Amino acid sequence: MTEPGGTQARAPWRATVLTLFPELFPGPLSASRAGEALKQGLWALEAISIREFGFGRHRAVDDTPAGGGAGMILRADVLGAAIDHAVAGNPQSPRICLSPRGEPLTQLVVRELAKGPGVMLLAGRFEGIDQRVIEARALREVSIGDYVLSGGELAAMVLIDAVVRQLPGVLNDEQSAAEDSFARSAGLLDCPHYTRPEVWDGEAVPAVLMSGHHAQIERWRLKQALGRSWQRRPELLERRGLSAEEVKLLEEFRQELKN
């Protein structure tokens, strides 16, 4: 199929989620810009019930852990069939399992996923999934943070939301441009933001932001981003490195703390 312009029509970015709770989707992904983009067909979402692949009259999907212990594990045979079904419809998409022991989800991973055709996400429940499935189906394990959720669904939604807002046409131009200017402070924590009223509860908006001096404002914002990052996430600065100008700005920030 070709479009009027002669360019090839491209299938929208597609998230396929394997879950025991398909009714949780789209959930919060139907709100605001991601939800509007979903309605417009800028991306697609399919939640598939793992239960459909369960065995017997009760459609059992889980069983007790080999070696004993508490909790239940999602069965390899059930998940294998569910994954094979999902992959058949999305042969090119990376296969991801949400797990606290996965590689951390970062904006780098998000941008990489936004380039591709989509993702196949396995959102587990219980104590986890049979390890053989992870290996046999080459699942990439991804974690949204060092805490334990009740299931992978919220983590899957977090990943999808972060990717969808990167897709062309999902954010308006103003927001996209704001993201571009944020490249200035890429890898840093955001600077503080203010709006009206200019004085609230006896506290004024920083004078530089009211000055109209754009170069000074950008300099102040970068200084705040560097200072915050240094205070709260020093490892971000080590990973990123600082230019000579940035070292100077951070020195100013630390000096102003003493005042």
Under the binding rule (CB under 6 A), the answer on residue 50 touching ligand 4HQ is no
Binding mask 80-119 for ligand 4HQ (x = CB under 6 A): ------------------xxx-------------------
Under the binding rule (CB under 6 A), the answer on residue 157 touching ligand 4HQ is no
Active-site residue, selected from the candidate residues 63, 127, 161, 252: 127
> Can 165 be counted among the known catalytic residues?
yes
For tokens 């594990």, the residue is 73
Under the binding rule (CB under 6 A), the answer on residue 1 touching ligand 4HQ is no
Active-site residue, selected from the candidate residues 146, 173, 180, 238: 180
> Can 100 be counted among the known catalytic residues?
yes
> Can 140 be counted among the known catalytic residues?
no
Under the binding rule (CB under 6 A), the answer on residue 79 touching ligand 4HQ is no
Under the binding rule (CB under 6 A), the answer on residue 227 touching ligand 4HQ is no
List residues near ligand 4HQ by CB under 6 A.
98-100, 124-125, 128, 143-145, 147-149, 151-152, 155
